[in-house]
Structure 1
Amino acid sequence: MPVEQVRVPRAGESIAEGTLNRWLKPDGAFVNVDDPLFELGTDKATQEVAAQVAGVLKILVKEGETVAVESVVASIDTDAKAPAPPAASRSAAAEPPRESAKPQAATQPAPGPAASRLLAEAGVSATAVAGTAPGGRVTKGDVIAHTDAPKKPANGTPPPPKPAAPAPAPGSRITRQPMSPIRKRIAERLLASQNTTATLTTFNEADMTAIQELRAKYNERFEKKHGAKLGFMSVFVKAAVEALKAFPLVNARIDGSDIVHQHFYDIGVAVSTEKGLMVPVLRGADDLGFADIEKRIGELAKKARDGKISVTDLEGGTFTITNGGTFGSMMSTPILNPPQVAILGMHSIIKRPVAVNDAVVIRPMMYLALSYDHRLIDGRDAVQFLVRVKECVENPERMLLDI
């Protein structure tokens, strides 16, 4: 019989494997062309893989397994026919209603104290849980199994990730929860970054007065004209591009024993999502105006948070900017995103006393951090790069006038 193999698609030039997070169709189900079959997770993004042919699905790989690109994870019997549509429903008089499960539920033994507590915390009725103890009694384990089971809507959309850790068992001092596939991949990437680079961090600070005044004066007109707010990130992206042009090694990468100079400016902007940190890339940032940058960042951030980001959106950046200040961070040392050799960290804006023209004044200040790979970038270049960013941020009109 004709059988079509279902293979793991190539998710990007630098990705050799991923994790089969979950099957979106059960084994033996009839699938149509373009029906989502499974969710593939990589260290960059999560994507749904759809059926290329119609037929009956036979699953060959379990959920949670690591799968190589082009490996076979299922097959589809294309000779199988779609199930016949259900016959027209009969009238209520022709077919009496079946006995409901309510009488059985009434005689179901009451759940134990531990199970009752978990049911109350989860807001679940005991009648909704299949009991495995004698007489159908619901146990603590039954409740945990019921609440942990993934709930897939009828349209096949995968359920959103759980927002919190599982409830601890009564009297337990710890709980153990497996890492999600994407969290495991992020952990591997971060550890590899630390182990394969000679990372140092240099710090500076920027007076944000000029940017705040610029936003206060023009934001309303800017948003009305361009449909996007004038944020801080567009200023930092343009400042980073100016500094990268002045110090091109910061925009380069290492390939074996070669230095690869990159004469383009694709800037990654870190975005926090429920599945972890993602870094979509602004292509050709040197050719984008402030409005274009703000709109593009908004589009990419929405795609990332909606789970619609593609691997193409995340690949190929030459430099990254991350803003820990959105979460209240005052100072941090960002981790490199290989093969990039530098990353700029923004932080909270805090009013504090500073000396200006020999007078102590209160100014909105932001600490800046540049982590860099010392194998390629010397300390002098890193410090001067960050000084150039500071100068551009403190004098945004210079970038607007290109002087």
Structure 2
Amino acid sequence: MATEIVVPALGESVTEATVAQWMKSVGDPIAVDDPLVELETDKVTLEVYASAAGTLGEIRVEQGETVEVGAVLGLINEGGAAAQAKPSPSKAEAPAQEKAPEKAPEKAAAPEPAPKPAAAESLAPAVRKLVEENGLEPSAIPASGKDGRLTKGDVLSFLERRRPDEARSAEPKPAATPTEARPAPSPPPSPPPSPTGGAREERVRMTRLRKRIAERLKQAQNTAAMLTTFNEVDMSNIMAVRSQFKDSFEKKHGVKLGFMSFFVKACIVALKEIPAVNAEIDGDDIVYKNHYDIGVAVGTEQGLVVPVVRDADRMSFAEIEAEITELGRKARDGKLTIDELTGGTFTISNGGVYGSLMSTPILNPPQSGILGMHKSQMRPVAVDGKVEIRPMMYLALSYDHRVIDGREAVTFLVRVKECLEDPQRILLEM
């Protein structure tokens, strides 16, 4: 009896996903709760686990294909034998081996044909079909799948690279004449190979997460009247506080004291004074939020995600730092849930970790404001009539002018600057 591997519920408003990769091959042994396949939605990446023990008998949906909730991805067979679409070489050769004694001695002693490479036996059905139709040798195709598995994309890329070579070899060549005395002119030099030694171009299908990011960013540009205002902040006092208390803070709370908790707290002080920055448009209404769920942008290999720190106004510095650290780890591991990615009221994006000195962040719909942090850099500034070298950081606030007036945007950013330059204001909410 076989157990179906089914696409689970993916979260509210999410109805389909893309198969990112299979973690098991046909015939592999499986234990209960083993991760089998990784699915990618437009918000999160999740793993499907085995509900029964046995072996992976069939893969019905290949990597890169789209599936809906409830679709069958494959089958788990009970016991140690995996069902395969075609008989294995051992079964196919069994009759020939039984008849071997009846053949002439010299034929019996003849060497058996070399078996197919092991890689061909473990190919997924769609990949095997493509290889056989084009008469390809699997071992000659560079594989990029997990554990060296050959994917459908690998085969298609190999075919695309092979076509120009076949076309050149198929061109008719002029017949040589007796009067030819000179050698044929050498062909024009071919384009230099790429530095990596591979194809000069590579076409890769956008991931579902990347497509979703593109849609939301374009939506923000198309729907919001987006403007950006800038200011700069002297980071001297925050750096002094952090340097003085970072060791005792980590010893007491078990988490490092970073800059993000200061920025979250400073933004909450400013949001309480300028509630329009914490609002959003819903049809013909403006919805003012009396809670402060702060999104913190995290860059991952798959793309930018914005997990949310819930009720950050009720949290201590240590709680904020611990929550941001945990959400960042889950983001990089692809373990964020739908709830952790939705419902933010305001976002903070730190381009400074990549060395950015100045940028214009794009709104995270339906929010009306986003604060952009940048690299802290030593610069000469005027302090009490004297030029001093201070660690300065540019701040950028992008906002939806349909909700937030210029006066409110500038005032918000000034309050953030004041709280950061004098951290006591954060404790007093001034």
User: Quick check: TM above 0.5?
Assistant: yes
Percent of pairs identical after alignment? 56
| 1:1-400 alignment, distance < 5 Å | 6-11=6-11, 13-26=12-25, 33-52=32-51, 58-68=58-68, 70-74=69-73, 76=75, 81-83=78-80, 145-151=141-147, 173-400=200-427
- Counterpart code for 1:187: A
The aligned counterpart of 1:105 is none
Q: Distance in 1 between matches of 2:311 and 2:384?
A: 39
The 3-state SS of whatever aligns with 1:10 is coil
Distance of aligned partners of 1:63 and 1:216 in 2 relative to their CA distance in 1, 3 Å threshold: same
Q: Which amino acid aligns with 1:360?
A: V
CA contact (8 A) 1:21 1:181 kept: no
Is the 8 Å Cα contact of residues 300 and 309 (structure 1) preserved in structure 2? yes
The 1:61/1:243 distance shift into structure 2, 3 A limit, reads same
Q: Secondary structure at the match of 2:364?
A: coil
CA shift for structure 1 position 384: 1.1
The 3 A distance-change label for structure 1 pair 354 and 232 is same
- For 1:377 and 1:141, the matched residues in 2 are separated by 63
Gaps of 5+ in 1: 86-107, 109-126, 131-139, 154-166
* AA matched with 2:80: P
CA distance in 2, matches of 1:400, 1:194: 36
Query: The residue matched to 2:147 in structure 1 has which SS?
Result: coil
In the alignment, which residue of structure 2 is the partner of 1:161?
none
Calculate the aligned-residue CA RMSD, in Å: 3.3
Distance of 1:375 and 1:402 partners within structure 2: 27
1:262 corresponds to which letter in structure 2?
K
- TM-score, normalised relative to structure 1: 0.74
Alignment-mate amino acid for residue 41 of structure 1: E
Aligned to 2:142, the other structure's residue is in SS state helix
User: Residues of 2 paired with 1:256 and 1:145: CA distance?
Assistant: 54
- CA distance in 1 between partners of 2:140 and 2:312 (Å): 49
Q: What amino acid maps onto 1:179 in structure 2?
A: M
What displacement does 1:150 show? 2.6
Partner amino acid for 1:146? P
Distance in 2 (CA, whole Å) between partners of 1:250 and 1:221 is 35
Give me the whole-angstrom Cα distance separating, in 1, the residues matched to 2:308 and 2:342.
7
Do the aligned partners of 2:4 and 2:72 also contact (CA within 8 Å) in 1? no
Alpha-carbon offset, residue 10 of structure 1: 2.4
Whether the 8 Å CA contact 1:330–1:367 is kept in 2: the answer is: yes
Question: Is contact 2:298-2:331 (8 Å) kept?
Answer: yes
Gap change, CA 1:198 and 1:20, over 3 Å in 2: farther
Tell whether the 8 Å contact from 2:346 to 2:368 is kept in structure 1 after alignment.
yes
Q: State the one-letter code of the partner of 1:369.
A: A
TM-score after normalising by structure 2? 0.69
